[in-house]
Chain A
Amino acid sequence: MAIIIDENTRLIVQGITGNQGRFHTTQMLAYGTQVVGGVSPGKGGQEVEGVPVYDSAFAAVEAQNANASVLFIPSPFAKDAAFEAISAGIKVLVIVTEHIPVHDEMEIVEYASRNGTTIVGPNTFGIVSSGKCKIGIPPNQFFIEGPIGVVARSGTLTYEIVGNLTANGMGQSTVVGLGGDRVVGLSFVDVLEKFEHDPQTKAVVLVGEIGGNAEEMASLFIKDMTKPVVAYIAGKSAPPGKRMGHAGAIIERGKGTFNAKVEALQAAGARIATLPFEVPDLLREVIG
């Protein structure tokens, strides 16, 4: 098991002939992901790392029976590419692109939800079902198979935490990057719900950050979960009114503070790691 993607996922890469698209296609293939096609309008018929390139997502899906796609497309063109993937019948769409205008993001998410497509991102490192399939950009060597589900808003911080898990012999079922923008396709609750029902997942690590109310909403769900949750919230030392890199990571009008999130999560029964490296010890305590 695992959630959202697994060994049967058939992936196409939109923007496969660009630098990032090419590099990460190689990396994903090396991880074992079934990359079955690439899309680059006008470059159909070429190959990248042995992967056939098509002129459109429709052609790629038709030829390869693909069910997932990842976008390595510059932000001004991301909406078009996302609409194309959804329209071509893609069921899991990972949008790595950052700096997509938020109005475009709202339209993408709305169109996806009407067509039953799961959006991971935008502005995400992607998603890894460890040992089975990686879609996105995280470094391969830190993701090993195991019982821990991880859901996060931020990329490198997730590598840090997953790296710590792996160093402690704790593998992961699936690691999901929600994305750092204010509007993203999946919420913590969407993913927690899937982990709760996934037989492989025995415990969940939630990596949140200041701003918004996603962690507070998550705590309402965690209250009723049977599986233990360990949470780390980044931004304890962040001043209010300043955007800490992510569009969503800002304390506005006294809302979205570190303390409010930690209190909500603690009240729901989650264990809180004060610093990233404390996560493995807390997990050991909750799963024995």
Chain B
Amino acid sequence: MKLFEYIGKEIFSSFGITVPRGKMVTSPEEAAQVAAEIGGTVVVKSQVLAGKRGKGGGIKFASGAEEAREAAASILAITVQGHKVEKLLVEEKIQIDKELYVAITIDGSAKKPVIIASSQGGMDIEDVPDEHIVKCHVDVTVGVYPYLGREIARRMGLTGKQAANFAKLLPLLYKCFKDKDAELVEINPLVISGDILIAADSKFTVDDDALYRQKDVPYVEDRTSIEKQAHDLGLAFVELGGNIAVMANGAGMSMGSLDTLVHYGGSPANFLDAGGGTGMEGTAKALELLLQTNPRVIFINIFGGITRCDDVANALIQVKKTREIPVPVVIRLVGTNEQEGVKILNDNGIEAYKVMQEAAAKAVEIANAE
């Protein structure tokens, strides 16, 4: 789950990391009020889950309450990188002497957290040349102590108070990363303002699988309504916009099904991993979701391991009984309890395919028919 900048900053602040004075607002009036409280020049920043907000007009400077009101009104009226702006962060404009970059994320191939730092902050880290990037893995049984901050500061070319402050900041950032089950904490830019280091932005992603133990992190919705419904049912679902609704069990199999459909000239409406061991009820709900994508055909591809073919067959029959399925269903069904499943389908006049590519080709043929 990605967090808005202002939530990330609130968390940073609660861990002792300095952030600009500011407040989240949702209206021009509030923006004016906060600007008056802060005084001087403020920056009004759109709160959307996307980068490069400045380029889309999503960040504006304002002197005083009136300008802040206008800036807020104009930003609230636009979409930034395809996201509608509903929240703004109004905060003090800080003095920038130099911009650094620091992030902690997970390196899957090393199986460890990795600290990424650079003396060239303020731009996308992907655009920073390798020789200006410092990378350092973390031993999770040790954690991050100030010595590591001093060493990384040295490799970044920081000296004196700035180096000392960086060494102080890094263990706080790691604590934040670990305690909040983050997949990513990123400060870009980390601003040197005099001798102080200020987190002028935040990117913060919390591990979805750990949300059950991160109850105090505010929930941020980043899914389409149908994706949200799927999530609530425990299904992995992604909208793809085509006309063949797809259900398979297992993420790899779901991807393989999409690839096969595309290979035969089809256009999938969605990715849907019905999961392993999805019972009858789950399968029935998944089918309901598929119908919402308004497909021309439904393609079901099941290789039963934990999932039992008879459960899938029964679910399909059940849905057919309770509501009309207005489009053809092409189903491929093999694996655990295959004979039972196929018999249930046949008894109800539905043909089951044994071979994935034959079923996929059939689904494409139906979808592409005039």
Of B250, B255, B336, the contact of A210 (CB 8 Å cutoff): B255
Instruction: Enumerate chain B residues within 8 angstroms of A44, measured Cβ to Cβ.
Output: none
**B-facing residues in A99-158 (Cβ within 8 Å):** 99-103, 106-107, 109-111, 114, 125, 137-139, 152-158
- Whether A75 contacts B209 by the Cβ 8 Å rule is yes
- Whether A106 contacts B305 by the Cβ 8 Å rule is no
Q: Which size class do B's interface residues fall under?
A: 35 or more
* Closest chain B residue to A276, Cβ basis: B256
Of B178, B261, B271, the contact of A103 (CB 8 Å cutoff): B178
The yes or no answer to B199 lying at the interface (CB within 8 A) is: no
The yes or no answer to A288 lying at the interface (CB within 8 A) is: no
- Whether B106 contacts A110 by the Cβ 8 Å rule is no
- Whether A180 contacts B252 by the Cβ 8 Å rule is yes
What is the minimal beta-carbon distance from B58 to any residue of chain A, in angstroms?
19
The yes or no answer to B260 lying at the interface (CB within 8 A) is: yes
- Whether B111 contacts A110 by the Cβ 8 Å rule is yes
* Closest chain A residue to B255, Cβ basis: A234
* Closest chain B residue to A153, Cβ basis: B252
- Whether B240 contacts A239 by the Cβ 8 Å rule is yes
* Closest chain B residue to A258, Cβ basis: B259
Binary interface encoding of chain A residues 217-256 relative to chain B, with 1 for a CB under 8 A from any of its CBs, else 0: 1000000000000001011111100111111110001000
- Whether B335 contacts A238 by the Cβ 8 Å rule is no
Binary interface encoding of chain B residues 243-277 relative to chain A, with 1 for a CB under 8 A from any of its CBs, else 0: 00000111111111011111100001001010011
CA of A100 to CA of B210, assembled, Å: 8
The yes or no answer to B347 lying at the interface (CB within 8 A) is: no
Contact A156-B255, Cβ < 8 Å, known A187-B109, A244-B271: no
In the complex, which of the residues A110, A155, A187, A249 has the most CB atoms of chain B within 10 Å of its own CB atom? A155
CA of A103 to CA of B178, assembled, Å: 7
CA of A107 to CA of B181, assembled, Å: 13
Contact A244-B256, Cβ < 8 Å, known A103-B210, A155-B305: no
Contact residues of B: prevailing secondary structure: mixed
The yes or no answer to A274 lying at the interface (CB within 8 A) is: yes
The yes or no answer to B306 lying at the interface (CB within 8 A) is: yes
The yes or no answer to A32 lying at the interface (CB within 8 A) is: no
The yes or no answer to B334 lying at the interface (CB within 8 A) is: yes
In the complex, which of the residues B106, B183, B256 has the most CB atoms of chain A within 10 Å of its own CB atom? B256
- Whether A212 contacts B250 by the Cβ 8 Å rule is no
Binary interface encoding of chain B residues 298-315 relative to chain A, with 1 for a CB under 8 A from any of its CBs, else 0: 000001111000000000
Instruction: Enumerate chain B residues within 8 angstroms of A58, measured Cβ to Cβ.
Output: none
* Closest chain A residue to B126, Cβ basis: A253
* Closest chain A residue to B125, Cβ basis: A253
The yes or no answer to A183 lying at the interface (CB within 8 A) is: yes
What is the minimal beta-carbon distance from A111 to any residue of chain B, in angstroms?
8
- Listed in ascending order, the chain A residues whose CB lies under 8 Å from chain B are 20, 75-76, 99-103, 106-107, 109-111, 114, 125, 137-139, 152-160, 163, 180, 182-185, 187, 207, 209-210, 212-214, 217, 232, 234-239, 242-249, 253, 274-277
